[in-house]
Structure 1
Amino acid sequence: MKILEFDDKKGIMKLHVENEDDLWVLHLILKKGDKVIAKTTRDVSMGKESRRVPMIIELEVEHTEFQSFTSRLRIHGKIMDAPERFGIKGAYHTINLDIGDEIVIEKTHWSKFELDKIKRQSEKRIKLLIVLVDFDEYLIALPMTQGIRILSEKSLRTPNKEEESIIEDNAKEVANEILSYVNSLRIEIVLLAGPGPFKEIVSKYLKNIKVYIDSVSSATRAGLNEILRRDIIDQINRDYELSEETKIMEKIMENLAKNTGLVAYGKDEVKKTAEYGAIDKLLVIEDLLSPENEEERIQIEEIMENVENKNGEVLIVPKDSPIYYEVKNLTGLIALLRFRIN
C-alpha cells in the first residue's frame, strides 16, 4: 500500500492499493459513517436504454465485504456526491476496489490503531533495487515510500574491436557496484533491465541474489520511468509474498515435527492463542473469508484483527499459493507462536 496524501486536519487520506493484503487492511479500518471517494461504474438510464458508465463518486460507508476469491474489496454505502447529470445522489451503491486502484478515505477521527495499521502496511515492502544497464552506461535506483532515489548514474568505457575485454570488464564493474548496494542496503531482489544483451552478461556476476530480468528502451531515467509503469514490480512483490508464506509454512512444519508446542491450528485453538497475544504469524486460506459463510467469516476476521492488534502478522493464502493445500489440510487457519501457552 502506498500513502499518496494525508491531511491530518481534515482527516483525509489518499491511498494506492498494491496487493491483496492492502485490501484486507482497508476492510479492517473502514467503519460505518466513513466517506470514500473512488472510481466505479454504475448502470444509468440513457433515454430508453441503460448503460454502465464509469464515474468517480463519494460514498458514505455502510459496510464492507472482503472478497479474496476475486482480490476485491466491496464497499457498500450511500452516494453522497456524483456527477449531477446521472441523478444518483442519495442512492445506494457498491464500489468494487481492486489491486491497482486508488481510494480517498475521510474519517472524522483516525484512531491510533488505524494509522499504525496503514503505516505498517505501507512500509511492508520488499527491498528492491532497480538497475538499468547498457554497454556504455547504467543507472541504479532504489524505490522508497516517498519516491525513487537515484543511487548511481554513470557512463562506461565504450566497447571497441581493439579491447575485447571491455564488455566483460564493464559487466564486472556494474555487478560489483550492485553487490555493494545489495550488502549495504540489505537488498532482497534486483530488477535488472536494459535494451540489449548486456543485462544477461551482468547477471552472470550476481551470485546468491534473486534477479529478475526485463527489457527497456534505454538505461536512462526515461527507461526508469518506463519500467515503473509496468506490472513487473507488482509481480515481483507477489512472488515475494508467496515466498515468505512458504518460509513460514516450513517453520510451522518443522515445529510440528519437533512437537515444540509453538504451532496452533483450528479456529478454537488459534482464537485462544490470539487472546494471549502469542501469535507471531497467522496463515489464513482465502476460503475462510468468503462472504458465502458470513457467520464464520466474521469469527475469522475477529481473530485476525485480534492478532494484528497484538503485533502479530496475518497472511492471506490464495489458491495459487504453493502452500495452499498444506494450510487447508491443517484446517485453513494455522499460527506460528512466539511462546507456548500450555
Structure 2
Amino acid sequence: MSDDAIGSTMRILGEDPASGGIKVLIETDEDIWHLYNVIEVGDLVTASTTRREEKAADKLRAERAEKKRMTLGVRMEKIEFSEEDLRLKLLGTIETGPQDIGQHHTLILENGDSLTISKPHWRETQLERIKRAVADSKKPRIVFVSLDQDDATIAVLRQYGLKEVVSIRSGRSGKQYAEKPQVDGYHAEIASKLEPLIEPNMPVVLLGPGFEKETLADDLKRMRPDLFGKTYVYHTGQCGMAGINELLKAGMGADVLRDSSVGSEIEAVERLMSEISKPEGLGTYGTEEVRNASLAGAVDLLLILDSKVREQDLDDVVRAVESQKGTVMVVSGQHDGGKSLASLGGMGAILRYKLG
C-alpha cells in the first residue's frame, strides 16, 4: 500500500505493510462513520483502552480494582456504530497486549482517539473509503432550518446522512405577531439553537413555504452577520424533515449541496430511478445484472450501498467500471437515497448503452 493509495493527511498516522496495518486518528464525527464501513469481522484493531488490572491472587479485589489505561489488540467479532452519541463500539477477543489474552474486550472509540486497523488483505473499496474520508473532511457540513410561521426544524447534513437536531414551536399570539419586535422571539430562539452547530464558512440553508424563511434570513444576518453570512434561501412546498428531503431530491441546484457527498448521492439515485422507470431507460439494478454490465464495459455510473460494500467483496466490479473510465459511488444507507437503493437490492448502474 503506497501513500498515494490512501491519501496524504494527518489523520493517517502511519502504515505497516508487513502486518497490513494502517494507523488512523479520528478527527471528525464523519471519520467514525467511515471507519465503521472499513472495519470488518476478523480484523485486528489495536487502540488505547481501559481495563481492570489482572490480580489472580484476589478475584474479589480484581472486581473492584481500578481500571488502568493500556494498549490492546482486539480481534473483531462485532462492530457497532452509535449514531446517537457518535461512537464506534468494537467487540472481540484480546490478541495482543500486557494481559488477559484470549478474553473478550470492547473498544469504545470517538473523536480524538487513534487506532491501528490490520487486515490480511485491504480491498480497493476499503482503501477508497479512507481516501474519501480525507477528501470529504475538507467539505463543509450543511445546516438546514425548515420552517413556516408555526414550526421550525433544524437538521444537520453529515457525510453519512441527515440528522434532525431540534424542533421549535413559534408560540406566537396574534398580539405578539402584530407588534413586530426588532428581532422576532421565534427567530431569536432558532438563532440560539443554531449558534452551537455552526462553524466558520458552514452553509445555512433556510427553506419552507411562504415568506417566513426570508424574514428569518434578514433577522439572522442582523443578529450575527459574522456567523450567518453564508445563508441560502429556498422555497419548498412542505416544511419539517419532509421539506428538507424535498429540497435534497430536487438537487437544490447550488454548489452548497453539490459539495456534500450526501447531496451527490441522493441526486445520483434519483437519476437511476428515473432511468429505470423509462421504457428505454439506461438504468439497471440487481447484483448479477450490474456485475454483467460492469464486466461488459457498459457502466457509466455504478452505485453501491455502503452496507453491501461492507458485506461483499465487489472489487472486481469496481475495477471493471474504473478501467472503462466509469464512476463508482458508494451510497450511505442513512438517507432517503440510500433507502431507495436498498429497495433495489443495494446495487444499481446508469449505462452508456442499452444491453441486449
After TM superposition, the score normalised by the length of structure 2 is 0.47
TM-score by length of 1: 0.49
Which has the larger share of strand? 1
